[in-house]
Structures are given as C-alpha cells and as structure tokens.
Amino acid sequence: MELRLDRLATLYLVLPFSRHASDPELSIPILMYHSISDQDESRTRAYFRTCTRPRVFADQMAYLHSQGHSTCSLEEALANLSAGTRAETKPVVITFDDGYSDFYREAFPVLNRYGFSATVFLPTAYIGDRPLQFKGKDCLTWAEVRELNDHRISFGSHTVTHPQLRELSPPVIKEEIVSSKKMIEERLGCAVDSFAYPFAFPQNDPEFKTMLRDLLRSAGYKTGVCTTVGRATGDSDPFFMERLPVNSSDDAALLQAKLAGAYDWISTPQRLVKMAKVQVTKLRKHT
C-alpha cells in the first residue's frame, strides 16, 4: 500500500482523538466519485486520483451496507441538517461527477444490488445520443441517462463544458449553469435541482461565491456540492456543500474514518494551500 501522510494522520492522530469527543455535530457524509474503472493512476498522488476500480467500489458499497448506512438525496440530506433531525439509519449521499459511461456498466449494478440511490452530475456538452468523450473517456448517452433515472439515479448539472467558472464572466457563467439545467430537464422531463462545481472550488473568494450562489438560486437550483473536503453539516452552504473524495486508495479503515468525520481536518490545509496559491499569483502579477 502506498504511504499516505493524510491516511496516517487520519487513522493514528485524528480518529483516536475524535472517539473521545462528546456530542458530535449532526453531519451527513457526501461521497464524491468520478470514474469506476481500472484506469492506471499510479503516477498520480493518491489524494488526487479520480478513479475507483470496480472491485474496490463493490467492496466499499458492501461495507456501507454492512454498517447499516442508507442513501438519501442531496435535498433530503439538506432537509435533515436544517431540521437537526438524526435519522435512525446512518444516511450518506453518493455522488458521481463527469457522467462517465462506466457508471452505467460498473457502478449502477452494485448500487442497485443494495438499493442505494446516487446523484450523477452531467457536463451536458459531452452527453449525446451516441457516446461522446470527456478527458479521453466515454460518457453516458441520453438513452442510458433516461434508463438510470427510472431506477433511483438522480441527475444534476455539472455545467455545459466543464470550465473553470472563476475565469469566466457572470453572463457566461449564467449560460453554463442555465443551459445545462435546461438540457437535462428537457431530456428527462423532470426538474433538475442540484449542481456540482467543476474543478477545485475557490472557497477563499467570498465575492465570487456570492455571485455564483445568486446565479444558482435565480436559475432554480436548490442544492449544490463542491470539492471542499468534509461532511455536510447544518452550517454548510446549501449550494456548496462539502464532500469526501473516494478512490481506489481508500481501504476500509480510511473509508470508515472519513464517514466518522476523522478526515474533515483536511479542509484546513486545503484552504491554506489555496490561499498560498492566490498570494503567489498576486506576487507574480506585480513583478
């Protein structure tokens, strides 16, 4: 197994301490997957990998089922968090970004086996009547999307072209989030209420977040997720809820720790690194 400092810190520093904490805050884990495939990511650091091998994914879902976890939608999760309601079961939200076709072949049969629901976020420019590719991988077709939608799989927007929204003007951002929502709704004949931010979320830019939140709300979205690490809580922004990244490098111990909240500490160094990058960029512009 690859040596992971984040894993070591989580399992041997944060987790033991968290077990002694009293009255934990109500929270719901939102798992973030991308591709369910055997793609080789050995040259990518474990933290940044976006593929989960089918066998590993099956083991992870089996683990959730064995531990009594149930799945819910983003809207249901938000309602529970807003009301401060603790469910009798252990709710978790399962999400998939990018709309890859391997979801249909590999992930859905496993989810269906356990009666699990999930939300898939589609970059609509890459969803067609025939397979189109995004980042060199086939994406779902509209026929597959419709079939999945009939079997407890929900769909949300991941923009049209998957751009870095922060680099675009407000009118272009609006077009990305409005057109993708409209396309999915026309194809499925049902409302699309959820949005997933593409790329790393600029959590240190309050002005941008306010502008984007207003655009999402005016477009009719009710919930949203981003790449900020952590579990969703009652204090989470409904349009930018935190998620827990999962890939093939997550063994049962690390997955369990993430579900328990012992991985939430990552959000602090994540935020500091982003702040440092912003400062470096500013310095370069002035030199």
The domain limits of the chain are: 5-285
User: Residue 271 pLDDT > 70, yes or no?
Assistant: yes
Q: What angle do CA 176, 230, 208 make, to 5 degrees?
A: 35
Tell me, what's the pLDDT at 1?
Answer: 55
| pLDDT score recorded for residue 77 | 96
| pLDDT value of position 64 | 97
| Contact by Cβ (8 Å): 10, 249 | no
Flag whether pLDDT at 157 surpasses 70: yes
> What pLDDT, in 10s, does the model give residues 100-125?
999 999 999 999 999 999 999 999 99
**pLDDT cut 90: percent of the chain above it:** 85
Q: What DSSP assignment string belongs to 82-103?
A: HHTPPPSSEEEEEEEES-BTHI
Q: Is the pLDDT of residue 261 over 60?
A: yes
**pLDDT tens sequence across 177-220:** 999 999 999 999 999 999 999 999 998 999 999 999 999 999 99
CATH topology of domain 5-285: TIM Barrel (3.20.20)
In this prediction, residue 285 carries a pLDDT of 64
Structure confidence at residue 236 as a pLDDT band (50, 70, 90): very high
Note the pLDDT of residue 274: 73
